[in-house]
Amino acid sequence: MSNVRIQIHCPKCDYTEDYHRMLGQCPSCGSTYLDAIYITDEPLPWPEALRDRPSSMWRFRELLPILDDANIVSMGEGNTPLVRAENLAAMLGLKHLYFKDERQGPTGSFKDRQASLAISTLREHGVNEMVVASTGNVAIAYSAYTSRASMRLTVFTISSVPPEKMREVMIYGTELVKVTGTYDQAKQVALRYAQQNDLFYDRGVKNIAAKESMKTIAFEIAEQLGAIYGPDEDGRPWRTPDWYFQAVSGGLGPVGIMKAFRELEQFGLSHGLPQLGLIQSEGCAPMVRAWENGEAIATPVLNPQTRIATVATDVPGIAYTLLREEMLHTGGSFEAVSDEEAYQALKHVARLEGMSVEPATALAFAGLIAMVRKGQVHPNEIIVVNVTGHTFPVEKHLFTEDVFREMDVTPAAQTEIPQEGLLAALESVGRTVERVLIVEDDPGASQLVMRILKAYGVPEVFQAYDGREGIDQIEALLPDLIVLDLMMPGVDGFGVLDYLKAREPLRDIPVVVVTAKDLTAEEKARLTSQVDSLLAKGSFMDEDVLQGLMNEKLR
Ligand SMILES: *Cc1c(COP(=O)(O)O)cnc(C)c1O
């Protein structure tokens, strides 16, 4: 189909052979970490040839290690949208923030790409039964794709995987073994089982197909950014982002991503490598600890303490060492955030961007927020976050009990409940803030606050664009809450506050001040006696900020 020659290469001893068989290890030095490399005499026919190809990751066929297209097992995986995250960007003070929406794969996570290529490769080499260890999503994706390929699959998983995910695995007829122990122990049991029964065992990052599949995410990102920003100054059609963010467990994803950007550079399609923002959960963050300690090999976590099973890799392997090397050259860092921070970020993103993700994915959002706050990420950089998986098998501890407000309005309930009971129920629903006035001269900032309030269910939001107009509207509307900018032409925020505080009933309206100004001690003192909450512009993600906006009145 093309003039690309695929070879298997050992990075350790440089052994090379043309690709025709599956190697578990290097025939020369025995290393178990091998790469596929691609050699051409002519330029790749990209991007032109890609335009008319069917929508899936197999558009990038030339740089994937498959010998015969007839072996491809596909369900349209890949070619996912790159979605601009404008609201979250505005909250974080960023200009170019994008989500690579991997939730849109056939089984709802980016593991679909891995399953498609890994299973296709096995089919090509006549393997029809395999074993894999998984923290959930590989189990689901491999189950779906082995079913399509009429292969038998045995999965070893850990007991913290949510039952919803386990049930989905079983729908496909997969043999599922739940190991009570750490993920590393589950892997060891799986390997032993495979050896005893002479079955193929998928080694994750050491499986060439698994790693190669992840490249397609980067190919798409570069192509999609090229369409947005146009060719670079040297005429290369595609673009490398400044940052790639992902929640990591074993680290397979970013290893493949970096290999892809190298290949795009090799073939003249884009330039350079992204910095990496790789996020782990505090309770199981061996890569982060090793990175912080300057160690090239990560120490296993003996007692993983995260509720996010998807990322519970306690013993990181070679991926950490490779990714650390990448970061030392191109920048970026490993970051840990707590499960709670991930859950918070999950809710913010759902409310602001309309995207519901699984907690593992949300670690990446929380990590991005943390790194923006620390100043590691700059406002003008192009940032892509891998939205790795969907939340439908959501874990139950994501929500506390008081999330739902219950109202029984069936006729039976109405006859049984005394009238006041129903009224009281209605009243408690109606006690939220109904009407908010935003007094802010910058229309962009005003729109942002408006969107946030709408996202949190405030029905009436009004805008005034200077202090004078603000005072008029306050008198006319008597809002339940005022969001007030300090720096405005004419009557400024201080002026509005002075006016309010001198008048009944205006003085009782809660005021939330939003400001970009560094306040003097005197100004601060003046404000603390007059306002309910003080927010700094560009730091809207702070917990106290949202709480300030939501206030106990808003629940
Ligand atoms: C597998 C997975 C990760 C971690 O990816 P790695 O690159 O293998 O570390 C993150 N999020 C989700 C939803 C996953 O399924």
Give the CA distances from residue 213 to residues 49, 121, 151, 260, in Å, rounded to whole numbers and listed in that order. 20, 11, 20, 10
* Tens digits of residue pLDDT in 260-274: 999 999 999 999 999
Q: Is residue 542 part of a domain?
A: yes
Number of domains comprising the chain: 3
Q: Is residue 68 part of a domain?
A: no
Structural domain containing residue 461 = 418-547
Which sign, positive or negative, has the C-alpha torsion 40, 15, 217, 271?
negative
Q: Residues 298, 334: one domain?
A: yes
* Tens digits of residue pLDDT in 330-375: 999 999 999 999 998 998 899 889 999 999 999 999 999 999 989 9
DSSP track, 299-346 = PPPSS---S-GGG---S--HHHHHHHHHHHHH-EEEEEE-HHHHHHHH
Q: How many angstroms separate the alpha carbon of residue 205 from the centre of ligand 1?
A: 12
What is the CB neighbour count within 10 angstroms for residue 263? Answer: 20
Q: Which residue's CA is the nearest one to ligand 1's atom 5?
A: 248
**At 491, is the secondary structure helix, strand, or coil?**
coil
Kindly state the average pLDDT of the residues 30-41.
Answer: 96
pLDDT of 450 reads 83
- Name the phi and psi angles at 26, rounded to 5: -70, 125
**Relative to the CA of 250, which ligand 1 atom is closest?**
9
Question: Which residues on neighbouring strands pair with residue 37, listed in sequence order?
Answer: 7
The verdict on the CB of residue 249 being under 6 Å from ligand 1 is yes
**At 83, is the secondary structure helix, strand, or coil?**
strand
Q: Is residue 492 part of a domain?
A: yes
**At 523, is the secondary structure helix, strand, or coil?**
helix
pLDDT of 553 reads 36
Q: How many angstroms separate the alpha carbon of residue 443 from the centre of ligand 1?
A: 39
* Tens digits of residue pLDDT in 422-472: 333 333 334 467 888 999 988 877 887 787 777 767 789 999 999 999 999
Q: Residues 372, 295: one domain?
A: yes
Q: Residues 375, 245: one domain?
A: yes
Q: CB within 8 A of 416, min separation 6: which ones?
A: none
Q: Residues 351, 234: one domain?
A: yes
Q: How many angstroms separate the alpha carbon of residue 249 from the centre of ligand 1?
A: 6
CATH number at residue 455: 3.40.50.2300
Instruction: Produce one character per residue of 368-379: b if its CB has 16 or more CB atoms within 10 Å, e if not.
Output: bbbbbeeebbee
The verdict on the CB of residue 316 being under 6 Å from ligand 1 is no
Instruction: Produce one character per residue of 468-494: b if its CB has 16 or more CB atoms within 10 Å, e if not.
Output: bbbbebbeeeebbbbbbbbebeebbbb
Mutate to test the pocket of ligand 1, among 158, 205, 217, 248 (most ligand atoms within 8 A of CB): 248
* Tens digits of residue pLDDT in 158-208: 998 998 899 999 999 999 999 999 999 999 999 999 999 999 999 999 999
Q: Is the pTM of this model over 0.75?
A: yes
* Tens digits of residue pLDDT in 273-310: 999 999 999 999 999 999 999 999 999 998 899 999 99
CA angle 173, 176, 181 (to 5 degrees): 170
Q: Residues 284, 341: one domain?
A: yes
408 has pLDDT over 90: no
pLDDT of 517 reads 65
pLDDT of 521 reads 78
Q: Residues 456, 332: one domain?
A: no
* Tens digits of residue pLDDT in 311-326: 999 999 999 999 999 9
Q: Is residue 207 part of a domain?
A: no
* Tens digits of residue pLDDT in 91-112: 888 999 999 999 999 999 999 9
Kindly state the average pLDDT of the residues 502-517.
Answer: 81
Which sign, positive or negative, has the C-alpha torsion 548, 549, 550, 551?
positive
**At 43, is the secondary structure helix, strand, or coil?**
coil
Q: Residues 32, 88: one domain?
A: no
* Tens digits of residue pLDDT in 521-550: 787 777 776 666 555 554 444 444 445 544
The verdict on the CB of residue 251 being under 6 Å from ligand 1 is yes
Question: Would you say 330 and 299 are in contact if contact means Cβ atoms under 8 Å apart?
Answer: no
- Name the phi and psi angles at 77, rounded to 5: -65, 150
pLDDT of 469 reads 96
Q: What percent of the chain has pLDDT over 90?
A: 71
**At 98, is the secondary structure helix, strand, or coil?**
strand
Q: Residues 88, 228: one domain?
A: yes
Q: What is the mean pLDDT of the chain?
A: 88
Separation between Cα atoms, residue 88 and residue 152, nearest integer Å: 43
pLDDT of 468 reads 96
Kindly state the average pLDDT of the residues 379-404.
Answer: 74
Q: CB within 8 A of 202, min separation 6: which ones?
A: 118, 130, 131, 132, 138, 142, 210
Q: Residues 462, 509: one domain?
A: yes
DSSP track, 343-393 = HHHHHHHHHHH---B-HHHHHHHHHHHHHHHTT-S-TTSEEEEEE-BBSTT
